[in-house]
Structure 1
Amino acid sequence: MFIPLSDTNPLRHLPFQYVTVGLIATNFLVFLVFQSGMVFNAMEAAAYGFGMTPALYNDVAELPPGFLAAPDAMTLITYQFLHGGWMHLISNMLFLWVFGDNVEDAMGHARFLIFYLLCGIAGAYAHLLVMPASESPLVGASGAVAGIIGAYLVLHPRVKVWILFLGRLPLRIPALYVLGGWIVLQFVSIAFTLDEQVAFWAHVGGAAAGMILVVLMRRPGVPLFDRGLVR
């Protein structure tokens, strides 16, 4: 529906968003080496071995012969660094680039990394609860990125964000409408099953975790809901 381009929200506590950039670089590196076919042709093996497949996690199915599998608990982390294609990767990393720096700024580097992984885990568990017997691997940073969206919405709902609406119309509107609309869209998509290939419940679980965790993990004194924002 929309493509985020940038926000008008400078860093206040950090000189640079090292963890955000590091996560983006890691996701691109993993995709290039293991999933793009440019180095290893291991897209399917990576998805089944290191993605989070509910049926495998719940021991109601077995991995096909010949696949190397990570321990179930580890897949709650490894699935976050795999993607289903270039567009899946780029869209997740674009959201992470635009909104991740300010969430990292509100928490600090170490806590932000923990926050990011926890949101991804929360997204995986939401998907597990809703689709416990699914044999399709869950891959992608979407759950963790949804956590960043939820956190940003709690921290900076009034900050203006540049987006391309419908991929072509540039608009500058408050994050409340951009990110709030994205969250509403997840529930609409669940209700009407607009795309069965997208793990919408992982998005919902990640966003809910982000909204809760940012309150607990932000720096002392960091305000919520843009309190004290000077226009």
Structure 2
Amino acid sequence: MLLTLAFLFFLIITEFTAYQPKLMELYAIHTNTYWSLIQQQPLELLRLITATFLHGNWLHWIINNSIFLLLAFSIEKVIGGQKFIFLFLTCGLVGNLAASLFLQGQDNLLIGASGAVSGLIGVWLVMFPRKKIDFILPIGLYLQKTSMPLAVVIMLWLVVQIILQFQPHPSYDIAWISHIMGFTTGFLLAWFVK
């Protein structure tokens, strides 16, 4: 998919070339200066999208891209490529917007596709509400195969995101609010595109 190739391209540039500081300077969201920068140069709003395609390291990229690949093909098959790209970019934009507002004035670098990928989780919940996930549960010395509705797993994931966002002394190495708002955006938009 085109978006996967874009992820890989930006990761390679970000990780393996001398351009990393310049790319982060030009395309990432620096939460302590972002909103004052927009007042001077409104086109800087594009960073709400460009930051989606930058990742800090291999692990960050692998996690986002694994979830992306797990969900993207099924969703795109149902709604088509154009709607899929619209959903993905909109969820990323809203997630980054929420995080940049929430973290405004703090010294954070906002990058990654987590808001967009979380949006795909919301879309998946609407489009495939009866899907089940199989897993193996260790019970004593035995392994028991069981299944659980994916909706339950997703709701547990969402509760964890909310708890982590609003814990008393949160670490903002991960923009949990981006996950929450990306998910919410995907969940709501999915009703209109399915």
- Normalized against structure 2, the TM-score is what? 0.85
Q: Which residue of 2 aligns with 1:150?
A: 122
Q: Which residue of 1 aligns with 2:133?
A: 161
Q: Which residue of 2 aligns with 1:23?
A: 3
| Aligned mates of 1:164, 1:88 — CA distance in 2 | 26
The question of 1:56 aligning with 2:33 is answered yes
The question of 1:205 aligning with 2:181 is answered yes
User: Runs of 4 or more off by more than 4 Å in structure 1?
Assistant: 162-165, 169-172
The question of 1:103 aligning with 2:82 is answered no
The question of 1:185 aligning with 2:160 is answered yes
Measured after TM superposition, the shift of residue 196 of structure 1 is 2.5
Aligned amino acid, residue 58 of structure 1: W
The question of 1:138 aligning with 2:118 is answered no
Q: Which runs of 5+ in 1 are unaligned?
A: 1-20, 62-68, 219-231
The number of residues matched between the two structures is: 185
| Aligned mates of 1:25, 1:114 — CA distance in 2 | 17
Equivalent of 1:129 in 87, 101, 126: 101
Aligned amino acid, residue 32 of structure 2: A
| Aligned mates of 2:132, 2:71 — CA distance in 1 | 12
The DSSP-based 3-state class of the residue aligned with 1:197 is coil
**81 and 196 in structure 1: CA distance in 2 versus 1, 3 angstrom threshold:** same
> Would you tell me which structure has more helix in proportion to its own residues?
2
| Aligned mates of 2:36, 2:107 — CA distance in 1 | 11
**Over residues 102-143 of structure 1, what are the superposed CA-to-partner deviations in whole Å (9 max), with x where a residue is unaligned?**
222232111110111000010011112211213322100101
| Aligned mates of 1:208, 1:121 — CA distance in 2 | 12
Measured after TM superposition, the shift of residue 24 of structure 1 is 1.4
**41 and 162 in structure 1: CA distance in 2 versus 1, 3 angstrom threshold:** farther
Q: Which residue of 1 aligns with 2:141?
A: none
| Aligned mates of 2:161, 2:145 — CA distance in 1 | 22
Aligned amino acid, residue 102 of structure 2: V
**Over residues 59-112 of structure 1, what are the superposed CA-to-partner deviations in whole Å (9 max), with x where a residue is unaligned?**
179xxxxxxx99412111110100011000000001111112222223211111
**163 and 29 in structure 1: CA distance in 2 versus 1, 3 angstrom threshold:** farther
The DSSP-based 3-state class of the residue aligned with 1:84 is coil
The question of 1:42 aligning with 2:22 is answered no
The DSSP-based 3-state class of the residue aligned with 1:36 is helix
Retained in 1: the 8 A contact 2:100–2:110?
no
Retained in 2: the 8 A contact 1:125–1:205?
no
Retained in 1: the 8 A contact 2:37–2:44?
no
Retained in 1: the 8 A contact 2:15–2:56?
no
- Normalized against structure 1, the TM-score is what? 0.72
| Aligned mates of 1:161, 1:101 — CA distance in 2 | 17
- Sequence identity percentage: 25
**Over residues 141-191 of structure 1, what are the superposed CA-to-partner deviations in whole Å (9 max), with x where a residue is unaligned?**
1010010011111221321235699xxx98753211222221111011112
Q: Which residue of 2 aligns with 1:174?
A: 149
The DSSP-based 3-state class of the residue aligned with 1:201 is helix
Give the CA RMSD over aligned residues.
Answer: 2.6
